[in-house]
Structures are given as C-alpha cells and as structure tokens.
Amino acid sequence: MNKELIVNELQFKAVRSSGAGGQHVNKVSTKIELFFDVVNSTSLNILEKEKIYLKLKNKLNKEHVLQLQCDESRSQHKNKTLAIKRFLGLLENALKEPKKRKRTKPSRSSIEKRLHSKKKAAEKKANRTKNNW
C-alpha cells in the first residue's frame, strides 16, 4: 500500500459546518468531506480492494465510495489533515492480516481448579435437597 498514491486519489469537498458558532460559521466552509473510490483506485491491487470491501462495507455507499467527514477544528486545513489521518488508519486496519491463533493445551493446574470448582458447586446443590429421615 503506497500512501502517497492513495492520498493523491482522494477527493475533498469543503462544506459549512453544523452546530453553534455564531456568525463565523455561516460564512466559512470548514467541514471537510473526504471521498475515496475503492473500485476505481489504481494504487490498490485486487486483493487489497476485496479486503477493504469486506471489512469496510458498512462505510461504503452504493457506488463503493468511502466517505469520511471531519469538522473537529475551526480550520479547514486541520480538518483535512485529520480526515486523511483517519482514512489511512482505517485502510491500515482493513488491510492488516490477523494473527494466526496458536492452539494450546490447558495446564494441569487449570484443569484441576475447574474440576474442583465444579465438584464444590455440585456438593452445594446436593446439600439443598430435603433429607427424608
């Protein structure tokens, strides 16, 4: 995954931010919307596209475009860098190969503890029954 090529494929749109902020918010478009077309990306190979599609399909729209928004800062430039950082983090997590699980045997002491606790619970329940003298 070449980050520079991917960042060059991103499309940005500046939109007016919502919420309180006085008169300044009505004049300035500080909110950034980031768009990344997964299907038409030339910087990703087919396997990477499939992984991204499978792991991030709830974040993709019908045209398979990943869309992120950022309006944390009052600066458009900061919002853009935050959106890019968030986007690259999402891609890295989606493309990360999960570790293989090593099968292990439970230790002898853990088996004995489990059996002991089961026996204790069984005795406790057996003592609850009424004794018919």
**pLDDT computed for residue 30 by the predictor:** 84
User: Is residue 38 helix, strand or coil?
Assistant: coil
**pLDDT computed for residue 133 by the predictor:** 64
Distances (CA, A) of 87 to 2, 35, 70, 81, 133: 13, 10, 11, 10, 74
Measured in degrees and rounded to the nearest 5, phi and psi for residue 95 equal: -90, -5
**Mean pLDDT, consecutive 10-residue segments, the chain of 133 residues?**
87 82 73 91 90 90 90 88 94 91 95 97 89 69
Pick the CATH number of 3-95 from 3.20.20.70, 1.20.1050.10, 3.30.160.20, 3.40.50.1820: 3.30.160.20
CA separation for the pair 17, 26 (Å, rounded): 8
Q: How far, in whole angstroms, is CA 92 from its chain's centroid?
A: 10
- pTM over 0.95? The answer is no
**pLDDT computed for residue 104 by the predictor:** 94
**pLDDT computed for residue 65 by the predictor:** 92
**pLDDT computed for residue 21 by the predictor:** 67
Measured in degrees and rounded to the nearest 5, phi and psi for residue 24 equal: -60, -40
